Amino acid sequence: MRPVAWLPNQGGDSVMVTNVNGVAERLTTLSHMLEAFPESMIRYLVPSAGTFNCRRIAGTDRLSMHAFGAAIDLNPRFGDYWLWSRENGTIIWRNRFPVEIVYPDTLEAQSKALDFITAAADKICNIVKLAGHYQTIKVTGDAKAQLSGLIKQLADLGISRAADFNADEYEGVLRTDLAATVQHNAECKLRVFEKLESKMIK
């Protein structure tokens, strides 16, 4: 077990979690990601209801994940424990936590996707800058290769929007957008980044 600072810049406390299977490292990364959330979402995260608690799952003989220091409960004000959510004997599913918090892996995937897009924009603009224009077969082929690689990287991350397009379509869009920017590499990179981000992620 080791302590992990849970959203320390947002008023969170230190929590105890296990080092096994990288849980402590993963929770530290998650805390950094969630600290960047809008203020309106912090109320769901701070205070937490704790992590390590050597107890059994209610109504069973099995140890809870909390007993292993491998789980965290968020602000209990917004929690709806399923055993307490029965109506006429039927368990009612409820969730008051924003989907961005419920599925944090989506945020990590998008962060990686932005890194891939930044790298692709840099490479595409350097290709065009070296050639001086966007009209040769080699430049077009090299740009398409970069776009094809980017689409595959995003698809591997589970970014579904990237799969809706192909390199030929993107290359056509970029050719038009870059016509007036190829002489300014920084502006070129920004334009490519914004175009790819808006179509592939947003």
Average pLDDT over residues 71-98: 80
Last residue of a domain, one of 77, 94, 120: 77
Does residue 69 surpass a pLDDT of 90? yes
Alpha helices in the chain (DSSP H): 23-35, 39-45, 99-102, 105-131, 137-156, 167-178, 185-200
Residue 182 belongs to a domain: yes
Residue 163 belongs to a domain: yes
Residue 18 belongs to a domain: yes
70 and 117 share a domain? no
The total domain count for the chain is 2
131 and 63 share a domain? no
17 and 59 share a domain? yes
Average pLDDT over residues 48-62: 91
122 and 175 share a domain? yes
Tens of pLDDT, residue by residue over 152-186, are 887 777 665 665 666 665 655 566 555 555 555 66
Distance between CA 41 and CA 15 in Å, rounded? 20
Provide the residue range defining the domain that includes 47: 2-77
118 and 187 share a domain? yes
What pLDDT sits at residue 104? 60
Question: Residue 6 in 3-state DSSP?
Answer: coil
Maximal C-alpha separation, the chain: 72
70 and 116 share a domain? no
Report which of residues 118 and 11 the model is more confident about: 11
Q: Which residues contact 138 (CB under 8 A, 6 or more apart)?
A: 131
Length of the chain: 202
Residue 93 belongs to a domain: no
73 and 115 share a domain? no
Residue 117's DSSP bridge partners are none
Distance between CA 184 and CA 180 in Å, rounded? 9
48 and 129 share a domain? no
Compute the half-sphere exposure of residue 134: CA atoms within 13 Å on the CB side of its CA.
19
58 and 128 share a domain? no
Classify the C-alpha dihedral 191-195-196-197 as positive or negative: positive
72 and 140 share a domain? no
Residue 50's DSSP bridge partners are 73
Residue 64 belongs to a domain: yes
Residue 89 belongs to a domain: no
Query: Contact, 7 vs 43, CB < 8 A?
Result: no
- How distant, in Å, are the alpha carbons of 43, 101, 113 from that of 12? 11, 16, 29
63 and 113 share a domain? no
Rounded to 5 degrees, φ, ψ at 26 are -65, -40
Residue 141 belongs to a domain: yes
- pTM given for the model: 0.52
111 and 192 share a domain? yes
Classify the C-alpha dihedral 132-137-138-143 as positive or negative: positive
What pLDDT sits at residue 174? 62
Q: Which residues contact 42 (CB under 8 A, 6 or more apart)?
A: 7, 10
Residue 88 belongs to a domain: no
